[in-house]
Amino acid sequence: MSDFLKAKIKNRVYRWFREEVDAVKASISSIDLLKVEAQSLRAETGALHAETAALHAETAALHAETAALHAETATLRAEAATLRAEIAQLENTMPILRNEIGVLRFQIEPLQSKLYQNWLASSQSYGRLLSVPGKDDDLAPLHKGYKVFTNSHSWIDFDQLTNSESPDKVVYKKTIDFAGEFANEQHRALSVAPGGRMGLDYLIDIGIDGFLLTADALKIYEMAYFSDGNILELGTHKGLSTTIIAGALEDSNHGLLETIDIDVDTNEMARNNVSTRPGSQRVTFTVKNATDRLDELVADGRKFGFIFVDHWHGYDATFEVAIRAIDLLVPGGFILFHDFVNSGNFDREHVYGVFPAIIDAILPDDRFRFYGNSGCCALFRVES
Ligand SMILES: C[S@@+](CC[C@H](N)C(=O)[O-])C[C@H]1O[C@@H](n2cnc3c(N)ncnc32)[C@H](O)[C@@H]1O
């Protein structure tokens, strides 16, 4: 073989070899590319898996929320149905109630008018009481040589007699024309005694439970101190007013007090309270129904210079005392009724009936004159 041919064959083999090597090289590089692509596809698939999982979770949450909303809607629908049923029932009841109200109004109106008639009648009677000549101080007979005041400032309007604030407005002013503002130091001490007994700031506190305003206490002391004779008290309770009266008798060094109460238990307390205070030796305690005791006293011909009425404040009990008072008082004697100024005054159905009882029993009797109010008390005097 010629060199030329040999070189040609060698050249051809070399070229073939080269082509083969290039082909293998090309195939290797395409495998690398495929590997890179596979890697990127794996990463993409992973991300898609994660996204799908997140979407699944979101869908589950939305399903749960939808279920909860369905449940809430069902509850609200049920509630609305119940309310609709309730409204329907109320709408059915309303005409019945309206009818009932109409019937009650029909019944109430005549009652209101009855109350108004009572009010009007009492008002006219009270007006007559206020217009009697006794309102004039100069016409009042002397008391134990003293000029006597009828205290017209305290002859409050009929309307104010029911006003629970009135007792505070009816301040104490003396009835007997003694020198100065107070009868003595003990009297003055009452005027500055603290309030607040039993938690009520308007009740005087001198160490014994009871229902006296300062103006009540001052008037009781004054009338007891200047009493023309012995004293009778109805309603001892725990001895508050009893102590004031006993002290006044001791201070003026005259007279005796009989105090009446129906309650055995509180009477024991009253005896203890009074026993340690001035004037206790002047006090007789009677445990009995007041009217029964008054009948005994009238039968015995007993007379008193001052009577303080503070037992049961009902109409009957007060009326029974008021019509007997003329037989128990000395001429010129005074009688003081507690709770004359009271919110129950114009309602004849109210348990308290001091004002109407006095209007019915004392007003028609010309021998009595009105001497004004002090606190919630009303003072009357027998003038002949
Ligand atoms: C308001 S308290 C008397 C208060 C007393 N004056 C004071 O200053 O504390 C009324 C009293 O009247 C008595 N009482 C009620 N009805 C009575 C009656 N028919 N006869 C006698 N006392 C009666 C009660 O037992 C009670 O103690």
- pLDDT tens per residue across span 63-110: 999 999 999 999 999 999 999 999 999 988 887 887 778 778 767 776
Whether the pLDDT of residue 148 is over 70: the answer is yes
Mean pLDDT to the nearest integer, 259-281:
98
Q: How far is it, in rounded angstroms, from Cα 202 to Cα 182?
A: 20
Whether the pLDDT of residue 134 is over 70: the answer is no
The pLDDT score that the predictor gives to residue 292 is 97
Whether the pLDDT of residue 229 is over 90: the answer is yes
Q: How far is it, in rounded angstroms, from Cα 353 to Cα 359?
A: 10
Atom of ligand 1 nearest to the CA of 261: 22
Say yes or no: CB of residue 260 within 6 Å of ligand 1. yes
The pLDDT score that the predictor gives to residue 164 is 62
Mean pLDDT to the nearest integer, 261-270:
97
Of all protein residues, the one whose alpha carbon is nearest to atom 27 of ligand 1 is 237
Say yes or no: CB of residue 232 within 6 Å of ligand 1. no
What's the pTM value of the predicted model, to 2 decimals? 0.72
Mean pLDDT to the nearest integer, 104-133:
71
Ligand 1 center to 208 CA (angstroms): 15
Give 363's pLDDT tier (boundaries 50, 70, 90). Answer: confident
Say yes or no: CB of residue 211 within 6 Å of ligand 1. yes
- Choosing from 213, 219, 231, 262 the residue with most ligand 1 atoms within 8 A of its CB, the one to mutate for a pocket test is 262
Say yes or no: CB of residue 258 within 6 Å of ligand 1. no
Ligand 1 center to 288 CA (angstroms): 11
Mean pLDDT to the nearest integer, 224-240:
98
Place of tokens 């030329």: 4
Atom of ligand 1 nearest to the CA of 212: 8
* Lowest pLDDT segment from 22-36, 45-59, 145-159: 145-159
Whether the pLDDT of residue 347 is over 90: the answer is no
Whether the pLDDT of residue 150 is over 80: the answer is yes
Mean pLDDT to the nearest integer, 108-132:
71
- Choosing from 219, 238, 261, 324 the residue with most ligand 1 atoms within 8 A of its CB, the one to mutate for a pocket test is 261
- 218 Cβ neighbours under 8 A, 6+ residues apart: 172, 182, 187, 190, 191, 374
Say yes or no: CB of residue 263 within 6 Å of ligand 1. yes
Of all protein residues, the one whose alpha carbon is nearest to atom 26 of ligand 1 is 237
The pLDDT score that the predictor gives to residue 346 is 67
Atom of ligand 1 nearest to the CA of 290: 20
| Residue 17 vs residue 298, higher pLDDT | 298
**Which is it for the CA torsion 194, 198, 204, 205, positive or negative?**
negative
The pLDDT score that the predictor gives to residue 333 is 98
- 214 Cβ neighbours under 8 A, 6+ residues apart: 172, 190, 191, 193, 195, 204, 375
The pLDDT score that the predictor gives to residue 265 is 96
Ligand 1 center to 358 CA (angstroms): 18
Whether the pLDDT of residue 176 is over 80: the answer is yes
Whether the pLDDT of residue 293 is over 90: the answer is yes
Could you report the per-residue pLDDT of 210-228, keeping only the tens digit for each?
A: 999 999 999 999 999 999 9
Region for residue 224 given its phi and psi (left: phi exceeds 0; alpha: psi -120 to 50; beta: otherwise):
alpha
- 258 Cβ neighbours under 8 A, 6+ residues apart: 230, 231, 232, 233, 283, 284, 286
Atom of ligand 1 nearest to the CA of 289: 20
Atom of ligand 1 nearest to the CA of 209: 9
Say yes or no: CB of residue 208 within 6 Å of ligand 1. no
Ligand 1 center to 131 CA (angstroms): 32
Looking at CATH, the fold of the domain delimited by 135-382 is given as Rossmann fold (3.40.50)
